[in-house]
């Protein structure tokens, strides 16, 4: 009985060890088989297309003003908030004006003193004139009195100017709306310290509005040659609203970082009545059918969009590297337009989930 148990124990452990070795070999073989399959890839292609293409844009207020403080001091009152409607000249905030009031009083006192000195100089000049006419004083004495009178006049004029300047400085402690419109954003509140030049709030007029779009330098020529431009406004499930702008304007400067040029398009008041500054739109440029434009295209399945990141997995040394890419229009079955970040002849992964694995390798080309 004891021999049988010992025999059974002797044969049980070798069988388990062999099974474990077999399972380990199979487990090691599975990733190798997965990697051997490779991640499907596609080449970045250059395609000649004609017609229209779309870029993302934003609605801007043509009349928009950043209201800043013109006087220093604590903000005593701040009576508006974002979304409030305001009228031109309406007081939006007040700054502690006690120092300005002292300045006004000092200037007024100087004016009173200058008035008294002017009256005295006038009387002295008139008395000297009479005495000089009667021959009791010389002509030089009258000239001296007349000069003192003119100096007193100048001092009075200077005092009056000081009063006006003090009144203007006191007026700077009241921040007024520069136009009829809406408060877009505020940067301060009651109790904050105001410094000249520091923005307090932004006010914009609801009309007119314009659409602004950043056009890559490589597409500037195509935009200039576009025969028709449309602003597309998304309305949910319904077809996009198409607005024909009143004009187009290219801002004569280029961003040195993004290498883009801003184009602005004024919108008709009736069609733009429901739009708001900051709203995202799309701008469609239509070119002549005889004109062709070169595009870099990648399959839609290769595109990764995560918040503000747009990227693809590019084949590099038989592995994948994540690269940020700027995309343009989605051309449907043709693919997605690439504005910058890729070159023709490069290869990208079309299965982004598998390409994100650390041991992923590209499939055979």
**CATH number, position 181:** 2.40.50.100
Task: Report pLDDT for 47.
Answer: 63
Domain range for 250: 39-63+207-365
84 in the same domain as 161: yes
**Residues 256, 258: Cα–Cα separation, whole Å:** 6
93 in the same domain as 49: no
195 in the same domain as 50: no
As a whole number of Å, the end-to-end CA separation of the chain is 67
Burial pattern 312-332, b for ≥16 Cβ within 10 A else e, equals bbbbeeeebeeeebebbbebe
Q: Tell me the H-state helices in the chain.
A: 2-37, 98-134, 139-171, 220-225, 352-355
Task: Report pLDDT for 264.
Answer: 94
Pick out the chain residues at pLDDT < 70.
1-36, 47-52, 236-239, 287-295, 329, 331
5 lies in some domain = no
358 in the same domain as 221: yes
133 lies in some domain = yes
CB contact at 8 A, 121 and 148? yes
What is the number of domains present in the chain?
A: 2
24 lies in some domain = no
Asked which of 203, 235, 268 is the last residue of a domain, the reply is 203
Which residues, 6+ apart, have CB-to-CB distance to 361 below 8 Å? 35, 38, 39, 318, 319
336 in the same domain as 242: yes
Tally Cβ neighbours within 10 Å of residue 214. 16
15 lies in some domain = no
Asked which of 203, 233, 263 is the last residue of a domain, the reply is 203
Asked which of 172, 203, 234 is the last residue of a domain, the reply is 203
291 in the same domain as 252: yes
55 lies in some domain = yes
**Residues 365, 2: Cα–Cα separation, whole Å:** 65
Task: Report pLDDT for 247.
Answer: 92
225 in the same domain as 169: no
87 lies in some domain = yes
């Amino acid at each position: 009985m004891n021999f049988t148990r010992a025999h059974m124990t002797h044969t049980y452990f070798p069988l388990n060890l062999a099974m474990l070795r077999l399972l380990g070999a199979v487990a090691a073989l599975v990733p190798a088989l997965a990697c051997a399959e490779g991640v499907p890839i596609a080449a970045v292609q250059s395609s000649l297309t004609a017609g229209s293409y779309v870029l993302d844009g934003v609605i801007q207020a043509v009349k928009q003003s950043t209201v800043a403080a013109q006087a220093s001091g604590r903000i005593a009152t701040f009576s508006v908030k974002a979304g409030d409607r305001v009228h031109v000249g309406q007081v939006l905030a007040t700054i502690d004006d006690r120092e300005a009031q002292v300045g006004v009083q000092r200037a007024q006192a100087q004016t009173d003193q200058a008035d008294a000195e002017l009256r005295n100089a006038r009387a002295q000049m008139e008395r000297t004139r009479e005495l000089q006419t009667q021959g009791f004083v010389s002509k030089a004495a009258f000239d001296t009195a007349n000069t003192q009178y003119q100096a007193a006049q100048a001092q009075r004029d200077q005092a009056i100017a000081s009063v006006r300047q003090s009144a203007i400085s006191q007026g700077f402690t009241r921040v007024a709306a520069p136009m009829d419109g809406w408060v877009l954003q505020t940067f301060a509140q009651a109790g904050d310290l105001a410094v000249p030049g520091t923005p307090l709030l932004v006010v914009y007029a609801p009309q007119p509005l314009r659409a602004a779009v950043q056009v890559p330098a490589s597409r500037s020529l195509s935009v200039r040659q576009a025969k028709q431009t449309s602003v597309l406004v998304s309305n949910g499930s319904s077809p996009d609203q198409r607005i024909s702008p009143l004009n187009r304007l290219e801002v004569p400067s280029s961003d040195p970082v993004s290498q883009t040029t801003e184009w602005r398009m004024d919108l008709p008041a009736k069609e733009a009545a429901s739009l708001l500054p900051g709203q995202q739109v799309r701008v469609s440029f239509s070119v002549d059918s005889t004109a062709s434009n070169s595009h870099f295209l990648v399959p839609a399945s290769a595109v990764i969009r995560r918040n503000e990141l747009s990227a693809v997995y590019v084949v590099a040394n038989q592995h994948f590297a994540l690269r940020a890419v700027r995309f343009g229009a989605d051309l449907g079955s043709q693919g997605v337009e690439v504005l910058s970040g890729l070159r023709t002849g490069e290869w990208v992964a079309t299965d982004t989930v598998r390409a994100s694995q650390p041991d992923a390798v590209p499939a055979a080309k």
